[in-house]
Amino acid sequence: MATLRTICDHILDICENAINSGGNTGYLVIIETKNNFKFTISDNGRGMDDLEIKKALDPFYTTKRNRKKKFGVGLSFLKFSVEKTGGTFNIYSKKNKGTNINANFILSNIDCQPVGDITTMILHVLNMSNNFHWKITRFYNKNGYNIDSKFLKENFDLTKPSDLKIIKNYILNLEKEIKEEDK
């Protein structure tokens, strides 16, 4: 990810890490309220021990070998961005079990990045890998929805623009519904 200008950019970056973790299943939970934007990303990948977690939060460390730039700012910049708003950031990980990233942005803080385009971000997460199963839960205040990539991949061809357009419109409608129900 070249730049992480929005919260959705951070989510995409961490979801890409989950896909590359060696696991096959990930969970993305997004909870948005008037004051907070929280997300949790979990995977069943290779996980990390305490030393690896510490290294992962160092912007000058990366596990990616085939890179021109030998640094990985994703987790460290997410942590910085969250804490700059007065929010909280946590990593829980267990070797050979997986990793869980929690971020809670305080939306009213002047230093909070814009949320970004949630619909497009979810579509990108679903389309990042055909071999990875995503379970996505999204709440806006008390209203929410679930998306299961396994169902979508069984019923749509995610390489066809016409099918992607159908899925995008579906997510757009879900977003509209949860926000209208709240009024």
User: Residues 22-51: pLDDT tens digits?
Assistant: 999 999 999 999 999 999 999 999 999 999
- β-pairing, 133-140 vs 88-94, is unpaired
Cα separations in angstroms, 54 against 24, 40, 97, 175: 24, 19, 18, 36
Residue 1 inside a domain? The answer is no
Read off the pLDDT of residues 111-170 as tens digits, 9 standing for 90 and up.
999 999 999 999 999 999 889 999 999 999 999 999 999 999 999 998 899 999 999 999
**Residues 88, 74: Cα–Cα separation, whole Å:** 16
Name residues whose C-beta falls within 8 Å of residue 29's C-beta, 6 or more positions apart in sequence. 39, 40, 136, 137, 138, 139
Note whether residue 2 is domain-resident: no
CATH code assigned at 63? 3.30.565.10
For residue 45, what is the DSSP state? S
Residue in 115, 107, 117 with CA at minimum distance from that of residue 34: 107
- Report pTM: 0.91
Q: Is residue 106 exposed (0-12), middle (13-18) or buried (19+ Cβ within 10 Å)?
A: middle
Number of domains in the chain: 1
